[in-house]
Structure 1
Amino acid sequence: MKVLADQQEGFKRPIGRVNSVRYHGRLINKLALTLVFVLTFAVVLCSFLNYFKFQENYRQLILDRLNIVIAEAVYNIEYGLGLGLRLGELDQMNQTLTRVSQRDDQVSAILVINSVGELLHLEGDASNAQAALTTWLLDWQGSSANQLAEQEQSFVFSQALHNSFGQAEGFLLLIYEKDDFNRVLQQVQKRLFQAALLVILLATLIGLVVVYLLLRPTLRSLHRMFDSLLQLEAGQPSALRANNAQGVIEADLVELEQVCLGDAIPHAVDTQGKNQGNRGALAILATTIVLIIVATIASAWYQLEIFKAELLPQEAKKALVIAEQVSGKIDYLLTNGVPFERIQGLAVTYVPIQDSHPDVEFIGVMQGDGSLIHSRGQGEEAFTAINQLSRRFNLYQTPIQRDDRVIAGVVVGIDPAVMANSLREIILDIAAILVVASLLATELILFVISYTLTTPLLTLRSVIERGVKGEFNVGMRVLFRDEVGRLGEKLNHLLDGARRKVIATGERLPDPTYLTSVSVNFVRPPLFLLVFSESMSLSFFPSFVESMYEPIGNLSKSMIIGLPISVFMAIWALSLPFAGQWSDAVGRRRAFMVGSVITALGLFCTGLATDLWFLLGARCFTAVGYGLVFITAQGFVTDNTQAHNRTKGMATFLSGFFSGSLCGAAIGGILSDRIGFSMTFFLSAILSLASALFVVQFFAKNDDSEEKLPGSKLAWSDFKTLWVNPYFLIITFFSAIPAKATLTGFLYYSAPMFMKDQLDVSQSSAGRVLMAYGLAIVIISPLSAWLVDYFKRKRTFIALGGLLSGGALCSLYLLPNEQGMLLSVLLLGIAHAIGISPQIALLTELIEGKVDVSMGKIIGIFRMTERIGNIAGPLVAAVLITVVGYTDAFLWFSGFLMMNVFIMLLLLAVASRFERNSLNKAAARVEVLP
C-alpha cells in the first residue's frame, strides 16, 4: 500500500452543518453485490454449460433412433433394387414408408426421389415434403453422402439409395418435426432457471448473514468513532474516552481528540505491535468459496436429475425401435412359415446396429422361461438368462406374438455406463467451473475489501497518526459515502477545526493535503479479466488456425499452424519497450484502458477471421494491446511498491496473471465445444472491454494520484552492455529462452494439436488438461519463492526446474494418452513454478553493480530477450512434429531442455571461476604496487 497526497482545489471542502444521518450497510451492500455476482457467475455458467450438454445428448438420442428407422427403410428399398427393379417399380415402397412414418408421431413426411430430384413416393404432409425437396435441391443435389439439416422447427435427413452396383438411384428424405424436442428443451430451461434462482437467493441470504456477523465488530468500531466525533462537534465529551477505546485505530483517535482539544501536546504515536491482521477478509473469502461450491454442486445435482428424467425416456424409445426392428424380422419369418425353433443366424443381423451404437451392449430373444437365444453382447461375457442382464444393463423388451399369445420377447440392453460417461463430462466441467469461480471470487472479494475497507482504513490511520504529531494540514480524501467515508469526513472536520485554532494564534500552516491510498491489489481484477479473455483460445487455437489453413510457400502444415502463435509472441515482445515508455508518459489508467480496448478489437477481429492472412493481422493487433496491458500492470506494481515489498508485489501480479490464464483455458475449452470458436472469441472481446470498464470505474478517482516520473529511455548501448555479459547470456539463452520455448511450443501449440489429432479429445477436455499448468503455478509459486529465499540456492532451483521440464515432456513420450498429457502439463507447471521465479533474482545477484545499466533496464531487456523462446517455440515444435512425429518430438524437446541445464551449470561455473581468477590477479597487482 502506498499513500499519496492530493492537493487539488476540488477536495478542499468547506465545513458546513454536520449531517448526523447514519448511512447503514454501505460496506455490506458492496460485499453483497460481489457475493451475488460470483454466485450468479458460478451457478448460471454451470447451468448454461450443462444445458448445452443435455441438449447435445438429447438431440443425439433422437438422431440415433431416427437413423435406425431410416437404415431399416433403406435396407428394404435397396433389397428391391438389388433384384433389378427400378425405384418407381417397387410395389412395397408405400408400405415401407408407411411403416417408417408410424414409428414416430413426429415424422411428418417421408419421401423418395430419383437422382434428379423428381418425387416418386410420398407418405405424410405434402407441404413438408416440398420443403424437404427444396432443401435437397438447393444444398445437397449432386452429393451421394448422407446429410442432415437442423432447422428451427424440424430435422431433415437425406440418405442415398444404391443399386447392386453401388450407384445412387435416388434418395430417401425424412422430415422430423421438433415440436416435442423444443417443448422439452423449454421445460428444462424453465426448471434450470427456477433452480438457479432459488439456489442463488438462498446462498446469498446465508452469505449476507455470515458476512454481516464477520464485519459487525469493524462496523461497530466505525460507528463508535463516528459517534465520538459527532459528540465533539456538538460540544459534548467523547464517548471513546469515557468508555475506554477498543482497538488500535480507536485508541489513536482518542489521542488525536486530546491533541486537537488541547488536552495533550502533539507527540509521536507508538506503532509497535499495532499491525492488524486480515482475518476478516480471509473469513469472508472462505465463506464465499464454500457457498459457491455448495450452491454449484446443489444446483448441478438437481440439474442431473432433470437430465436423467428426460434422457431415459429417449433411451427407451431408441431401444424399443431396435427391439421392434428385430421383432419385425422374426414376425416376417414366422409369417412365411419358418417355425420359431428353426430360426437361425439372427444374431448376425445385430452387428451393424451394435457397431453404429456402442451403448447397445446386448440384443437377444427371451423365451418364456427367461432363457436367452439368438443373443449377442458386445463384451466377451455370454448371457444365457434374463436375470444375468438385469444387474448389468438398462433392459427394454418388446413381445413377439403369434395367434394372440406371446411366444417370446426381444430384449435390448443399454449400457448405463454410456450415459454415466456423458454425465461424467458434465461433472468434470462443473469441477473446472468451481476452480474458475473460486479464483474469480478470490480476486473480487479481496479487491472489494481492499478497495473499500482495509486500504482506506490504513489511510485513515495514517491521517490520525500524523494528526497526533500535530500535522493538522493533512486530511483523508473521501471517495465513497460509506462507513469509512463518513468517518473520514468527520475526521477532516476535526483536523480542520484544530488547524483554524493554530492559524488563529498567528502561526502559518501550509494548505491542507488529502491523502488517498493505492494498493497493488487494485490492478489484479482487470488484469485477471484481460488475461482470462486472451487465454480462452488457449485450448483450441491451433484447431482454429487449422480450419482456415492454406499453403504458404514450402512451409509444412504444422509450421503454418504454429505461425500465428509465433507472430503474436514476436509482436508482443517488440511492443514491450515502447509500450512501457508510453505507459510511463500517459499514466497507468489511460494505458491500461487503451490496451484493453485494442485487445478487445483484436479478439473480435480474430473471431471474424476467415483466412490466414486476416488472422495474422488480427493477432498482431491483439498482441500490441496485450503487451501494453502487460507492461502497464507491471508498471503499476512498481509504482506502488518499495524495495522491501516489490517481490511480494510482483508475486501478486504473477498470481493474477496465471489465475486468469488458468481460468481462461478451462472455460474457453468448454465454451468452444458449446458455442463454437468465433462466438468464444467474441465473448473474449467483451471480457476485455469489461476490464477497461473496470479501470474506468475504480481507477478514475485515483488517476491524479499516479506519479508520472520521467525515466531514462532504453539505448542501444544498454543492449550491447548486457549482451556481452556472460552471466546475462548464460541465464537468458540456457534457462529463460528454453522455458519460454517450452511454454509456447508445447503448452500453447503441441499439446492442443496432439490432443486433437492423436487422442481425439474434446475441446472441453483439452481446456481442463491445460488448466493444470496454471493451477500448479498458482499453488506452487508462493511455496517455491519461500524455499528459494530460505535455502538461498537459486541455481539449484533453476536447474531442478529445467530437469523437471524435460521430465514432463519425457513422461508424455512414455505415456502418450490423455492421462499422460495431464501428468505432463502438471509437471511442466510445477517445473516452471520452481525454476522461472529465481531467474531474475540470480541474474541481478550476479551482475548488479558490474554493469552500467539500471536494474529496471536489466529486467526489461531480459524480459524482451527471453521472448525469443516464445517466438521460436511453436516453429521449432512444428519442424520436429513434421520430421519425427509427435511423440519423438516430445523426446527431442525433453533432451534439449535437460542438455541446456547441464550446459548452464557448466558455463556458470566456468564464468564464476574466470571472474574469481581475474579478481585475484587484480588484487595481486595491487599488492605489488609501491
Structure 2
Amino acid sequence: MSVAPASPRALQARLMAAILIVVMAGLLAASWATQRAFESGLRPELLRKAAVVGASVGELVGKTLDHGLALRDLVGVEAYLQAVRKQHPELAYLALCDDSGRVLFKSGSPAATAGISVSLTHAARPAGAVEASLSAAFIRQILFESTLDLLVVCLVAVFFTRELLHAITASDPRLGSVGTEGDAVLARVRAPLFLFMLAEELTRAFLPGFSRALLPSTSTLAPDVLVGVPIVVFMLVVALGQPVLASWSERVGHRRAMQWGAALGVCGLGGAALSGGIVDFIAWRALCGLAYAIVFVAGQGFVIAHTDAASRSRGFALFVTAIMVAAVCGPPVGGILADHLGARWGFGAAASLAVAALMVVRTLPRDAQASITAPSRAPVLRDFLRLFRQRSFVVITLLAAVPAKLILAGFCFYLVPVYLLSLGAPPSVAGRALMVYAVVLVLMLPQATRLAERGVAHAHLVGVGLCISSLGGFGLLAWGGVLPVYLAMALLGLGQGLSIAAQSTLLSLACSSEIEAHGSGPVFGVYRLIERLGNASGPLVTGVLVALLGHAAAFATVSAIVLICGLCFVALTGNTRVPVSVGARA
C-alpha cells in the first residue's frame, strides 16, 4: 500500500523543526561549556578582588598606625568594615586582627568558603592582618543569574532562528511555504515588522531606569511621576496617531509608510541613546511613538490589502505572531545589554535593529494591489456620542478594555522595572519578568480560543481574565523581592491571555446592530482609541500611586481597581456568547 507524499508545507514544517532541534542542542551544549568556564573562573576572580579590598583597608589602617595609635585603640573600625562590606556584597566576612591572630574588629561571620589574609606591617614589623572570606550565597546568586541569562539567550536564539527560517522560506517560492501571491507578500512583511517591534521591545526593561538617571536634581515634580512621562508620551502619540495615520498610509502606500516609520524609529532610538536630559529624551520618545504608530498601521494595511475575507484571520495571525515573538525576545535581551554595556548601548542596539528593519522594508514589493476595502477614517465626535449611548459598548470598553490596558502598561512598562530598580536588581531581572508575562500570554492565547469554541461565555473569559490578572499585585503587600513580581507577571499573562481575544469578539456581538448600520470601522475605531488611551494612562496612574503610597501599595491599588472592574463586568454581562464564526470575522 503506497503512502501519499507529504505536502510541501508539511515538509517545510518538518525541516524547520529539525533545524530548530539541532540549533537548540548546539546552544545547550555551548551554554553548558560557557557556564562551566565561568564557574571555574569566578571564585579566583572574586578572591583577587577581595585581596584588593583587604589591601585598601590595610593601607588605611597603616596610616593610622603611623600617627602613633595602637591597633586595639582605634574607634569606628567595625562601622567602617560594615560600610566596606555593603559596597562589596561578595564579602561575607571582613576582620582586622592583631599580630597574634586575635580578631579585634569584624563585620559579618566567617564563611566556609575560601578567604584571604593581607598582612599589616608597621616600622618593618608585623602589626596584624586583614582577613576576608567570600559569600557563598553571593556566588550562588551570580551563578544562578548567569544560568538564567544563558537560558534566556538560548530561548531567544531559537525564536530568532524560527523567524529567520520563516524569512528564508518566504523569499524562495520553491520551498512551498506560501500559497498565493498575497501569502508570499505577508510572509515577507513579517520580517521587518518583527525587527522593528523587537527594537522597541528591547528598551522596555531599562527605559524607566534610564529616565530616572536623566532627571534634574531641582525638579518640582515627584521623580516617580517624571519617570513615567516618556512612556506616557510614547503611548499617547501611538493612541492619537494611529487613527489618522491609517488613512495616510493608504494614500501614500503601505511600503512607503513603513519605510518612513522605520526611518523615524532609527532617528528616535538613536536620539534617545544620546539624550542629555529628560526633556530631549521625552521628545525622542515622542518621535519613537510616531514611528511605532506608522509601522503598526502600515503592517495592518499590508494584511488588509493582500487578503480577502476568508484569509484575513490568518493574515492577522502572522501580524500578531511577529509582535508576540518580539515581546518574548526583546525585554530580556535588552536587560542583558543594559547590564553589561549600559542603557545607552541598549538604545544603540535598538536603533541598529530599526536600521535592519528599514533595509528589509526596501525589499518589499511596491503597492501594486489596491485594497479591496474602503479607506478607513478616524472616529469623529458623532461616533463617540452615538456609541456612548449604548450600554453594552460602555460596559465592554470602560470595564474591560481600559482596566486591562491600565494594568498591562502600568505593571509591565513602568511599575515592574521601577520596583525592581528600587530593590537594586539589574535590568536583566526586569527583562526576565517581562519575558515571563509574554511567554505565558503566548501559551494561553490558543487555550482561550479552545475554551470559547467549547461554549464558554466570552463575557466570562473577559471577566475572569481581568480578575486573574489582578491577583498577583496583592502579593507585593505580603512579600517583597523578585519572586512575587515574577508571580504577578505570570498571573497577568494568564489573565490577559484569557481576555484579549474574547474582548473584540464580544464587542462584535454586543454591537452587532451598530455594525450593521454603520460598519465595523466606527465601533472598533472608538474602541481601540479609548483602549490605547487606557494604555497611556497606566504609567501615569502608577507613577502617582508610587509617589503617594509606595511601590507595594501601588501594585495593590491598581490590582484592586482592575479586580472591581472585572467583578462588575461579569455581573453586568452575564452569559453573553458569540458564535465561533462571528469571532473569526472579528
TM-score by length of 2: 0.84
**Structure 1 815/655 Cα, relative in aligned 2: closer, same or farther at 3 Å?**
farther
1:896 alignment partner, one of 553, 558, 561: 561
State whether residues 96 and 128 of structure 2, in contact with CA within 8 Å, keep that contact through their aligned partners in structure 1. no
Pair 1:528 & 2:194 matched: yes
In structure 1, the residue matched to 2:15 is: 280
Q: Which letter maps to 2:553?
A: D
Q: CA deviation at 1:704?
A: 5.2
Aligned to 2:451: 787
1:290 aligned residue (14, 19, 25): 25
Displacement of 1:710 after TM fit? 5.5
Match of 1:740 among 386, 393, 405: 405
Matched, 1:363 2:363: no
Kindly provide the CA deviation profile for residues 466-515 of structure 1, in whole angstroms up to 9, marking residues without a partner as x: xxxxxxxxxxxxxxxxxxxxxxxxxxxxxxxxxxxxxxxxxxxxxxxxx6
Aligned-residue offset at 1:556: 4.2
Q: 2:525 maps to what in 1?
A: 860
Cα distance in 2, alignment partners of residues 546 and 675 from structure 1? 18
Instruction: Provide the secondary structure at the position in 2 that maps to 1:760.
Output: coil
The match for 1:689 is: 355
Q: Deviation of residue 709 (structure 1)?
A: 3.6
Is 1:711 the counterpart of 2:352? The answer is: no
Paired amino acid for 2:348: F
Kindly indicate whether residue 510 of structure 2 is the aligned counterpart of residue 846 of structure 1. Answer: yes
Per-residue CA deviations over 1:860-893 (Å, capped at 9, x if unaligned) read 3322221120122222223323333332222221
Greater fraction of residues in helix:
2
Q: Determine the C-alpha separation between the residues in 1 that align with 2:169 and 2:120.
A: 71
1:430 aligns with 2:154: no
- Contact 2:113-2:133 within 8 A present in 1 as well: yes
**CA deviation after TM superposition for structure 1 residue 789, in Å:** 2.4
1:711 and 1:291 mapped to 2: Cα distance?
A: 50
Of the three residues 336, 356, 374, the one matched with 2:103 is 374
Which residue is equivalent to 1:79? none
Counterparts of 2:125 and 2:385 in 1: how far apart (Å)? 97
Q: What is the DSSP-based 3-state SS (H/G/I as helix, E as strand, rest coil) of the residue aligned with 2:503?
A: helix
**850 and 329 in structure 1: CA distance in 2 versus 1, 3 angstrom threshold:** closer
Shift of 1:319: 4.4
2:94–2:133 Cα contact (<8 Å) kept? yes
Say if 2:459 and 2:573, in contact at 8 Å, map to a contact too.
no
SS at match of 1:610: coil
- CA shift, 1:900, in A, is 0.9
1:446 counterpart = 2:166: yes
User: Does the 8 Å CA contact 2:376/2:521 hold for their aligned counterparts?
Assistant: no
Distance 1:581 1:455 in 2: 36
8 Å contact 2:410–2:541 — kept in the other structure? Answer: yes
2:182–2:306: 8 Å Cα contact kept in structure 1? no
Among candidates 670, 673, 677, match of residue 336 of structure 2: 670
Deviation, 1:441, is 1.7
The separation in 2 between residues aligned to 1:688 and 1:732, in whole angstroms, is 33
Tell me how far apart the structure 1 counterparts of residues 228 and 454 of structure 2 sit (CA, whole Å).
40
TM-score using structure 1 length = 0.55
Of the three residues 237, 247, 253, the one matched with 2:5 is 247
Matched, 1:833 2:485: no
Larger Rg: 1
2:324 partner letter: F
Contact kept in structure 2, 1:344 and 1:374, CA below 8 Å: no
| 1:621 positional shift | 1.8
Q: CA deviation at 1:525?
A: 2.5
Instruction: Give how far 1:753 is off.
Output: 2.1
Equivalent residue number for residue 907 of structure 1: 572
Shift in alpha-carbon separation, 1:584–1:331, aligned structure 2, 3 A? closer
Q: What is the alpha-carbon distance in structure 1 between the residues aligned to residue 575 and residue 496 of structure 2?
A: 25
Shift of 1:249: 7.4
For residues 352 and 417 of structure 1, the distance between their equivalents in structure 2, rounded to whole angstroms, comes to 22
CA distance in 2, matches of 1:423, 1:574: 46
Q: Which amino acid aligns with 2:95?
A: I
Structure 1 residue 303, shift from structure 2 partner: 4.5
1:179-201 superposed Cα distances (whole Å, 9 cap, x missing partner):
xxxxxxxxxxxxxxxxxxxxxxx
Query: Residue 183 of structure 2 contacts residue 306 of structure 2 at CA under 8 Å; is this kept in 1?
Result: no
1:607 and 1:310 map into 2 onto residues whose CA distance is 32
Out of 336, 348, 352, the residue aligned to residue 80 of structure 2 is 352
Amino acid at match of 2:439: L
Q: Does residue 752 in structure 1 map to residue 480 in structure 2? A: no
1:596: Cα distance to partner?
0.9
Residue matched to 1:797 = 461
Matched, 1:395 2:121: no
Distance 1:911 1:554 in 2: 49
Summarize the alignment of residues 37-76 of structure 1 with structure 2, pairs less than 5 Å apart.
none
Q: 2:301 aligns with which of 632, 635, 639?
A: 635
How many angstroms does 1:839 deviate by?
0.4
1:688 CA displacement: 0.9
Aligned to 2:426: 762
Q: Which residue in the other structure is 1:164 paired with? A: none
CA gap of 1:808–1:654, structure 2 versus 1, over 3 A, is farther
Q: Secondary structure at the match of 1:597?
A: helix
- Distance apart, 1:427 and its partner CA: 3.0
> 5 Å matches for 1:126-205?
none
Corresponding residue for 1:561?
227
CA distance in 2, matches of 1:572, 1:330: 62
Give distance in 2, aligned partners of 1:290 and 1:729. Answer: 51
- Number of aligned residue pairs: give it: 568
Distance 1:606 1:458, change over 3 A: closer
Question: How far apart are 1:811 and its partner, in Å?
Answer: 1.9
The change in CA–CA distance for 1:585 and 1:663 in structure 2 (over 3 A counts) is: same
Check conservation: 1:323, 1:410, Cα contact below 8 A.
yes
Letter in 1 for 2:415: S
* 1:547, distance to aligned residue in structure 2 (A): 3.1
In the TM superposition, residue 820 of structure 1 has moved relative to its aligned partner by 1.4
Q: Which amino acid aligns with 2:93?
A: E
Residues 47 and 134 in structure 2, CA contact (< 8 A), matched pair in contact too: no
**Structure 1: which 5+ residue stretches go unaligned?**
1-243, 251-273, 384-388, 463-514, 913-930
Change (3 A) 1:397 1:780: same
User: SS of the residue aligned with 1:363?
Assistant: strand
Structure 2 residue 205 is matched with structure 1 residue 545: no
Aligned pairs (5 A) from 1:558-637: 558-637=224-303
Long gaps (5+) in structure 2: 578-586
Whole-Å separation in 1 of the counterparts to 2:217 and 2:118: 56
Alpha-carbon spacing, 1:451–1:728, altered in 2? closer, same or farther (3 Å): farther
The alpha carbon displacement at 1:807 in A equals: 0.7
Q: Is the 8 A contact 2:258 2:294 kept in 1?
A: yes
Q: Distance in 2 between matches of 1:400 and 1:562?
A: 51
Assess, with a 3 A threshold, how the Cα gap between structure 1 residues 598 and 352 changes in structure 2: closer, same or farther: same
**Which has the larger displacement, 584-593 or 596-605?**
584-593
Instruction: Report the CA distance between 1:735 and its aligned residue.
Output: 0.4
Aligned AA for 2:535?
N
- Please report how far the alpha carbon of residue 712 of structure 1 lies from its aligned counterpart in structure 2 after TM superposition: 3.9
- 1:520 to 1:418, Cα distance in 2 relative to 1, 3 A: same
Deviations 1:165-184 (A, max 9, x none): xxxxxxxxxxxxxxxxxxxx
Report the aligned-residue RMSD. 3.9
Residues 1:377 and 1:819: Cα distance change in structure 2 (over 3 Å): farther
Shift of the alpha carbon at 1:530? Answer: 1.0
From the superposition, tell whether residues 523 and 457 of structure 1 become closer, same or farther in structure 2 (CA, over 3 Å).
closer
Residues 125-175 of structure 1 deviation map (CA, whole Å, 9 limit, x = unaligned): xxxxxxxxxxxxxxxxxxxxxxxxxxxxxxxxxxxxxxxxxxxxxxxxxxx
